[in-house]
């Protein structure tokens, strides 16, 4: 029983209330900004297509060539 009282007293400690409020509001603000940014990005993709850095068609061919070269190199090194 005394353990529960001690935990309650630690939670109600007023020494660090200002820093706790600041940290809590910082976390809530970051979470809210992230959510708003993701909703904005979704709307941009749905209405006007995605940003240029999301279109990876030109990079896909280069990525395939790099992966193929890496696989060939690993094959020859292991054999």
Q: Which residue has the higher pLDDT, 55 or 27?
A: 27
Instruction: Give the model's pLDDT for residue 1.
Output: 59
pLDDT over 90 percentage in the chain: 23
Rounded CA-CA distance 26/4 in Å is 29
User: Domain residues of the chain, as ranges?
Assistant: 21-78
Task: Check the CA dihedral 71-73-77-79 and report its sign.
Answer: positive
Question: How does pLDDT run across 38-72, given as a tens digit for each residue?
Answer: 998 888 878 877 667 666 666 556 666 777 777 88
């Amino acid at each position: 029983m005394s353990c529960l009282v001690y935990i309650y007293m630690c939670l109600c400690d007023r020494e660090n209330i200002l820093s706790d409020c600041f940290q809590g509001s910082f976390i809530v603000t970051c979470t809210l900004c992230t959510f708003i940014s993701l909703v904005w990005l979704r709307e941009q993709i749905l209405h006007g297509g995605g940003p240029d850095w999301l279109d990876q068609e030109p990079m896909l061919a280069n990525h395939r060539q790099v992966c193929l070269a890496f696989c060939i190199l690993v094959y020859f090194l292991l054999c």
